[in-house]
Structure formats: structure tokens, C-alpha cells
Amino acid sequence: MDLYHVYFDLKPGVRDMVLVENLDRYMGHLKSEGLIFGWRLTRAKLGFGLRGHGDFHLVIEVRDLAQLEAAFQRVASRRDPVEGLHFGLNSLVANPVFALYRDFPDAVRQTGEEKF
């Protein structure tokens, strides 16, 4: 499983539950189209977030990089309905920081033959 992370803040004046509604629509669409496996939204608790990474943390789960690329290609098409859903979310957030991680060890990982 590959995990695409987005850390961000809300733009001034944006209510947190408006974010949740728009995120649910956008991620729900991507999931229903088979473009992501799942997703999760978290918020820093008691101010204990990563410094400089915003108050919110979105984790998007994809099976592999091929599924992530398919999602990127669909969003990059800039066609509705995904364009409107993406704009509905993107217009609410500020200072996004992106990261990509994977489950470890990888499912294909073998041990005993490493050369380093």
C-alpha cells in the first residue's frame, strides 16, 4: 500500500465541517471510481502537530503507484465531475505539504540475498 500524505491549514474564514463535506464528496468520488483504495482525515490535537505542516492531515491510500497515477491523470484532465469536486476542496485549503510513503517492508521484499 502506498500512502499519499497532505498536510494543510484551512484558509481564513473556512469552517472545518465545510472542509469535511467537500473532502467526503471528492474522496468518495475517487474511491467509487476505483482511483483510490481509501482515505482518512486527521487534525492535530491540543496543538501537537508537526511544526510547519498545518493543522490537518489527509492520508490517501492507493494499492500501488499505478493506481495513484490513474488518480492523478483523472484529476489532471480538468473535466467534471472531478474538476468541480477538486476545486471544491482545493479552494478551502492553504499551505499544503505533500509526501509519499509506502508500507514497509514491501510485500515483494526478500531477505538473505542483500548485497549491502
pLDDT tens-digit series, residues 16-71: 999 999 999 999 999 999 999 999 999 999 888 888 889 999 999 999 999 999 99
Domains with residue ranges and CATH for the chain: 2-102 (3.30.70.100)
Q: What is the DSSP string of the chain?
A: -EEEEEEEEEPTT--HHHHHHHHHHHHHHHHHTTS-SEEEEEE-STT-S-TTS-SEEEEEEESSHHHHHHHHHHHHT--TTHHHHHHHHHTTEEEEEEEEEE-SS-TT---S----
Whole-model pTM: value is 0.89
Higher-pLDDT residue of 94 and 107 is 94
Mean pLDDT, the chain, rounded, equals 94
> For residue 89, is pLDDT > 90?
yes
